[in-house]
Each structure stands twice: as structure tokens, then as C-alpha cells.
Amino acid sequence: MPTTNQSASGGTGRSPLRQPTRRAVLMGALGAGAALATSACSSGGSGGNGGGVTITWFVGLGTGADPGQPEKQQRVVDAFNASQNEITLKLNVVSAASAQDTLATQISGGNAPDIVGPVGIGGAQLFDGQWLDLAPLVKSEGFDTSVYSTAQMDAMKDRTGAQVALPFGVYPSFIWYNKDLFDEAKLPYPPQKFGAKYNGGTWDMAALRELAKKLTVDANGNDATSSAFDPKKIVQWGFDPQYNEGTPQNHGTFFGAGSYVAKDNKTAQIPPAWLAEWKWYYDMIWTDHSAPTYQQLQSDTLNKGNAFATGKVAMAFTHTWYLASLTDSSGTPQTFWDIAANPSYNGEITDKQNSDSFRLTKAGKHPEAAFKVLAYLLTTGAGDLLKIYNAMPANKKLQADYIKSLDKTWTQGVDWQVALDALEHPDVPSAEGWMPNYNKSVDLTNKFGNRWVTTPGLDIDAEAAKLRTQLQALFDTAG
């Protein structure tokens, strides 16, 4: 072992195994640091196909992070980057579970993305005050908004009247029904024209409730109208407000539009239509047993909440985004269903509509470039993106192609005109609209909603009064 020439201080000896000098170590560390920094800069800088400024697109606050979606969105990004050389678009997809935290952290850390979306009205409220008013950019860039209706444009304004988004995708809601279960019960299908009659009578909420009872069946084959019906052995349910069960304002809008906050933006209120729906739905769960409880929804029988897709629920009330979940366990589209018109309540028909769009952050550093990307996503890229998100185009010119594309997947001959007609009955104001202390207020309403689907024997009038009182307390503490 050639160690004899080593000196105490590592000085004169020239052994090949000598200890590295401090300078060598420092130089090595500096070199490694520089290499890391260069690598970091090149990956986060303005490299890539497009060149020029880098625009970051944050996905996850709404749809867009489900399996298969990120790759397809990346193809849209690649197409944009290949189409020009002034902007490099970077996609940042975050899972829905952590998107809110991630975006909050990015904004607070001064690292806000330029574009966020697709995001619905409710998701955007979580970051109220962070969105850029697009009106000046629409004007300066000459973006054509004539393809959207005034109502759609207004729906994209925030509570201050700022145009914080442009219409992109809409998700009307309606009744989805299982044809097989109706056939088995020898019952006529619900009407597909809004305002039409059902079986000679008015197609209203009372009719739907009665129909749901007939379609709720126990293990012995008795339906919920029978005295022999056993609610402990239900194998088929009549109705479920699919994926809206624990959110009172969402399923409440089935009866009529409303808001928890009065027009003064300060006073808490419970819209009468919502209260009526809450009692109606609560009784369907706990008295009629025609709507599943939360426990039943979370069972394997109802596929942990994706109830209608199991084929064990006769009718559901939900939005077009539900198409993404309407598959069997192998991912094959289910074709046992069609869609029908919403029933009326007190003679009025309300269609709860969700909408998705993209928003620019106020903290974004390149608003003009970001708006150019936004314009691309809303026009050239819209066709592909709408398919990825299962969204109906807000742009009426694109709607016919969208319907055609649906028929390729859902081959049973769905009457998509129902979805188009539903757009004529929008819920104004939106159930997802602003209210003071938004995050805490939504948390509170969900707490009540979850309690109702898990707890029998409640007095819903008293619950609603309690909710109003607690909401008012939250509104009063809003900054």
C-alpha cells in the first residue's frame, strides 16, 4: 500500500491516494452546484419548442388530472409550442387532491402559474381575488366574444363585475335513467322534452319521488310502495343525485336557483326552493328508502359512490361530466342509459349548470403572452380539450361536432337534444357563486350536507335554521 510518502498536512507527497485538498473539494462543490443550477435553469427557463417567454399552465383545480388526461393535454401543449416561436407553454398537472394546496403555495411563494384551468366557478372562488380581469386584454387583442351568449359572458364575471374568465365548457344537468330497470318494472321512460307530461301527469318532483319508490326494490322483489318492502335488504334504488349528495346547495338547485347570501352580500339566507328540496331528498333517503344513504353509497355494491354506473340505480340527477365515470370496471362505456328532462318544481324548471374555463392569475408575469395561450386554448385547441374534459362547448358553433363525437362512444342512441335544451334553463345565480368567507362557508354547508345523508331522524327545518345562524356568524367575520 503506497502510503509512506504521505505527510501530515497532505503537502509534498504525491501519492495517487492522497486526500483531496480543501481547494479541490471547494472547486468540486462549486462545479457541482453550477451544474445543478444550469440544469435547473434549462429545465425551468425559456427552452423548448416555442422559445421566447415561458407560460405555465396549472391543471388540477378542476378536471384534467384524471388518468389519461395529462398526456392528451400535453399533446395540445406540444401543438401550441410547434405552432409559434414566441412563447413556450409548460404544463403542470397536479392531482385534484393536492391542487388547492399546491396552487395556494405557489401563489404565496411568488411562483404563481400564468394560466389555471379548467376550473369551475366553485373552484375559482377558492382563490377569489387572485384572477386577472380579462376585459382589457380581450379588447387589446381583438378576441371575438360574439360566439358566446351574454348570459355565458356574465356567468364568467366575479362579484366585482370583472371578466375573470371567458366561456369554454358547460356541463348541463338532467335526469339519467336506466332503461333496463324501467323495462323490467314495465314503467314508461321519463319525458325527454322539458315541460312535457309523464304518464299523463305533470312531470314534477312529486312524480319523480313516486316513480323512484316504484323503482326501489328489495332482495325479495318488493318495491318501496309495497308494505312487504324490506329497507334493510335493498338491491336497487330509485334515485340518486349522483356526486351531489353531500352538498346541499348543489342538490338544492334541482328545485330552484338560489344563494346563501342575500343581495346585500352580508345576510345569510336559505332559499325556500333549497329547503323544500332538502326535505324532499332527506325523506327519499330515510322515509322512502328510494335514495341511498351515504353508507350505502360507499359500499362495494354501489361502487363507492359511483352509484348510477353500477346499474343498480334507476334515475340519477347529474351533469355531463359524469360521462367520464359511466364505464364498467374494465373501462368499457355503459350503454344501458338515456337522458331525460328535469322535472318542475312549482311550475318552474331549473337546470343546474357547471362551467369550466381557464383563468389568468394577477400574479402572472406575462399577461399578454398568457392571453395568447388562452386564446389558443379557447379556439384552435378547444376541440381536443373539450373532448378530454367531456365538456359541452360554450361556443355554439362547436356544439354539433361535440354531439357527434359523443355518439361514437355512447352508441345506444342517446337523445342529446335534452342536454342542449337544458342549457335554456340555467340556474341564476349559480349554486357555486360567491359568499363571504367562502372556504369556511362551503366547509360548513358540506358539514351539514354530510350529516343529512348519514343521520336519520333529523328535523330539516331546524337544521336549516341552525345552518343559517352559523353561516351568518361566518359572514360577520369575513374580512
Partner 1 sequence: MLDVLQSGNLAGAAAPAGGDGRKSERRNGLLFVSPWLLGLLLFYIGPMIATLVMSFTDYHYVSESGAGTRFVGLDNWSRLFNDPMVAHSAFVTLKFALLFVPLSVLLPLALAYLMTARGLWARGFFRAAFFLPAIVPGVSALFVWQGFLNGDDGWLNRMLGVIGISGPNWLGDTTWVLPGYALIATWGVGNTMLIFTSALNGVPRELYEAATIDGAGPWYLFRHVTLPMISPMTFYNLVLTLVALGQYFVVPFVLTKGTGDPGGSGMFYTMYFYRETFRFYDAGYGSALAWMMFAAIMAATGLLFWSQRFWVHYAYEVKS
Q: How far is CA 50 from CA 55, 76, 83, in A?
A: 10, 13, 8
**408 in contact with partner 1 (CB under 8 A):** no
Distance CA 374, CA 393 (A): 15
Closer residue to partner 1, CB minimum distance, 380 or 437: 437
CA 231 to chain centre: 33
Per CB under 8 A, the list member of 176, 294, 308, 321 interacting with partner 1 is 294
Which of positions 445-464 make contact with partner 1 (CB under 8 A)?
A: 446-447, 450-451, 454-455
8 Å CB contact between 274 and 248: yes
| Phi and psi at residue 118, to the nearest 5° | -70, 140
Q: What element of type H or E holds 315?
A: strand 313-319
**The binder of partner 1 chosen from 299, 379, 405, 472 (CB under 8 A):** 299
Asked if 103 and 337 touch (Cβ cutoff 8 Å), the reply is: no
- Cβ-based nearer residue to partner 1, 79 or 107: 107
Q: How far apart are CB 245 and partner 1 at their closest, in Å?
A: 13
How many other CB atoms are found less than 10 A from the CB of residue 429? 17
Please choose, out of 18-26, 66-74, 142-150, 281-289, the segment that lies near partner 1 by the rule CB under 8 A.
18-26
At 35 the three-state DSSP class reads helix
Among 242, 249, 296, 390, binds partner 1 (CB under 8 A): 296
| Longest Cα–Cα distance in the chain | 107
Angle at 24 between CA 22 and CA 30, to 5 degrees: 100
Q: Where are the alpha helices (DSSP H) in 272-347?
A: 272-283, 294-297
> Given the rule CB under 8 A, which of 52-60, 178-186, 256-264, 440-448 is the region that contacts partner 1?
440-448
Q: What does the alpha-carbon distance between residue 35 and residue 30 come to, in Å, rounded to a whole number?
A: 9
DSSP conformational letter for 69: H
**Contact string 68-107 vs partner 1 (x = CB under 8 A):** --------------------------------xx--xx-x
Considering the complex, state which of residue 192 and residue 450 has its C-beta at the smaller distance from partner 1. Answer: 450
Site string for partner 1, 418-437 (x = CB under 8 A): -------------------x
Task: For residue 301, state whether it binds partner 1 (rule: CB under 8 A).
Answer: yes
Q: Is 2 a residue that touches partner 1 (CB under 8 A)?
A: no
Query: Which residues here bind partner 1, judged by CB under 8 A?
Result: 1, 3, 6-10, 19, 22, 25, 100-101, 104-105, 107-108, 127-130, 293-296, 298-301, 304, 437-440, 443, 446-447, 450-451, 454-455, 478-479
